[in-house]
Amino acid sequence: MAPVSRDRRPSMNDKPEGKDRQVTEITPQSEDFSAWYIDVVRRAELADYSPVKGCMVIRPYGYAIWELIQQALDRRIKETGHVNAYFPLFIPEGLLTKEAEHVEGFAPQVAYVTHGGGEKLEERLIVRPTSEAIIGTMYAKWIQSWRDLPVLINQWANVVRWEKVTRPFLRTTEFLWQEGHTAHETEAQAEEETLKILDLYKDTIESELAVPVLTGRKSESEKFAGALRTYSIEALMGDGRALQAGTSHNLGQNFARAFDITFQARDKSLQHVWGTSWGVTTRLIGAVVMVHGDDNGLMLPPRIAPYQVVIVPIPRGNWQQTVLPRARELRASLQTAGIRVTMDDRDTYTPGWKFAEWELRGVPLRLEIGPRDIEQSQVMLVRRDTREKLPTPVEGLARRVEELLAMIQASLFETALRFRDEHTTRTDSYEEFKRIMEGRPGFVVSLWCGSQKCETDIKTETQATIRNLPFRDPGQPISGSCIKCGQPAREVAYFAKAY
């Protein structure tokens, strides 16, 4: 990650001065979606670049969004019987290497600690890229009997994966996430847990972030290193590229064997536990930006908006004595109703400037109040998504605001869903497939023979990858042929260019 590209915009010196100057400081989406994304993240003060390569600072406004996402997820994770714990950041190198596929998958991305206390370490430590190794080690100590199962632990943590190409929220060297790690008595229970969490993710992300997601299973080549099966939720961004928004892994007994996590079963035999792990990350914030944002900036779903309403008092005459006290009363009454509200009473900016600024920051509802409104016992509400201006009586204001917030939440989801539907194409023609993947692609649903060769060839030729394989009725066999090789198909697959 790095300073924003320098050659993107023409020099201000080349432009006419004054009124013709571009005012938003945000590159239009249509001109350069990546630049637009970076501009929004920085101008909305979600995050900033740090002096450490690939690492970003999550600023208070961005972190507040993360906290709301956390709360929504944490509540659901606990409601389904899980408990939180915390495992260490450092993992002895030897532990990571116990599971062969796991170490092979993560070795290139691991950061090592070689010195501590001024001395070279006997055994190098790795900075966790994920915590299967350390948690598995502990589970081996804690689990003796079938009566100890299931173990359902989640942790909120930071992890480090050395990345070559980084982008704020979407891919950074260090990121925040939650990782659940469970151990079960039977394979069926592990599978049930894996799928239960996938649904939990889908529900949370759709109802709180208003981001529609596709659930399904990852192909062999895209699954988690060391897992039996990986399931994912996939979302479509505004530029037609897919983003993996969360994963849930059925680890089988792979880690149990590697870390010797055994229990005595009901039939007195000694068995390995069946494991799962699952996580979502701060990448979700990137998804929210790219799914809902527009050329005016960020657009936040009310449920995760740090401020659901911003009050802008209109300064006229001695407004500090007339308008401001009324605005404060309104703020208090909205707060009492449980609405997250802020007031921008800065004297140094004009109302017009504030309107643009808070739209850029994605606040769902703006409340304007000036002398004219006070005379008529009303306020002016303005929706971020439609920019509709709604004169609203002060009487019953809080209830009306709550209604509008719910409408905005629903509308954002519907708009995103419609966009995804419009950018999802079913095809059996590889020519059409290739054509769709040019420009602003989207999802393509096609049949696949299941061979890794076809998967790789498609990626080479179109940059598209299998995002996941949707769930289907096992009773319904697939008839048709692979989009690439024409052999009998064994899977339906969602393809897309991915982040």
Partner RNA sequence: CGGGAUGUAGCGCAGUCUGGUUAGCGCACCUGACUGGGGGUCAGGGGGUCGCCGGUUCGAAUCCGGCCAUCCCGACCA
Compute the Cα dihedral for 321, 326, 327, 332 and give only its sign. positive
Q: How far apart are CA 25 and CA 31, in angstroms?
A: 13
Residue 273 CA, distance from chain mean position = 30
**Residue 209 engages RNA in binding (rule: CB under 7 A):** no
Q: 442: left (phi > 0), else alpha (psi -120 to 50), else beta?
A: left
User: Does 372 contact RNA by CB under 7 A?
Assistant: yes
Bridge partners, 492 (sequence order): 447
**Binding track over 257-286 against RNA, x by CB under 7 A:** ----------------------x-xxx---
Burial zone of 440 (CB within 10 Å; 0-12 exposed, 13-18 middle, 19+ buried):
middle
Pick out residues in 377-416 that bind RNA (CB under 7 A).
379-380, 382, 387, 389
Question: What's the alpha-carbon Rg for the chain, to the nearest Å?
Answer: 26
Contact between 321 and RNA per CB under 7 A? no
Q: Of 281-320, which residues contact RNA (CB under 7 A)?
A: 281-283, 296-297, 314-316, 319
Taking alpha carbons only, the member of 220, 239, 84 closest to residue 170 is 239
8 near RNA (CB under 7 A): yes
Which residue, 169 or 259, is less far from RNA as judged by CB?
169
In this complex, which beta carbon is closest to RNA, that of residue 50 or of residue 424? Answer: 50
Rounded to a whole number of angstroms, the minimum distance from the CB of residue 50 to RNA is: 10
> How near is the Cβ of 108 to RNA at its closest, in Å?
5
SS3 label, residue 181: strand
Should residue 418 be labelled a site residue for RNA when binding is judged by CB under 7 A? no
Residues 125-184 that bind RNA (CB under 7 A): 161, 163-166, 169-173, 175
Under rule CB under 7 A, residue 94 binds RNA? no
Pair 230, 216: CB distance under 8 Å: no
Residues within window 339-358 making contact with RNA, judged by CB under 7 A: 347-353, 355-357
If one asks whether residue 199 binds RNA (CB under 7 A), the answer comes out as no
Nearest distance in Å: CB 339, RNA = 19
Nearest by Cα to 232 from 446, 224, 240 = 224
Q: Is 219 among the residues that bind RNA (CB under 7 A)?
A: no
Size, binding site for RNA by CB under 7 A: 80
Site residues for RNA, 15-74, by CB under 7 A, read: 17-18, 21, 23-26, 34, 53-54
Q: Provide the pairing of β-strand 47-49 with 270-272.
A: unpaired
Our finding on whether 476 is near RNA (CB under 7 A) is no
By CB under 7 A, residue 247 contacts RNA: yes
Q: How many CB atoms lie within 10 A of CB 21?
A: 9
Q: How far is the CB of 1 from RNA (least distance, A)?
A: 5
Q: Which residues are bridge partners to 127 per DSSP?
A: 90, 111
C-alpha span between 199 and 160 (Å, rounded): 27
For RNA, the closer CB: 90 or 353: 353
Question: Is the bond preceding 28 in cis, omega lying within 30 degrees of 0?
Answer: no
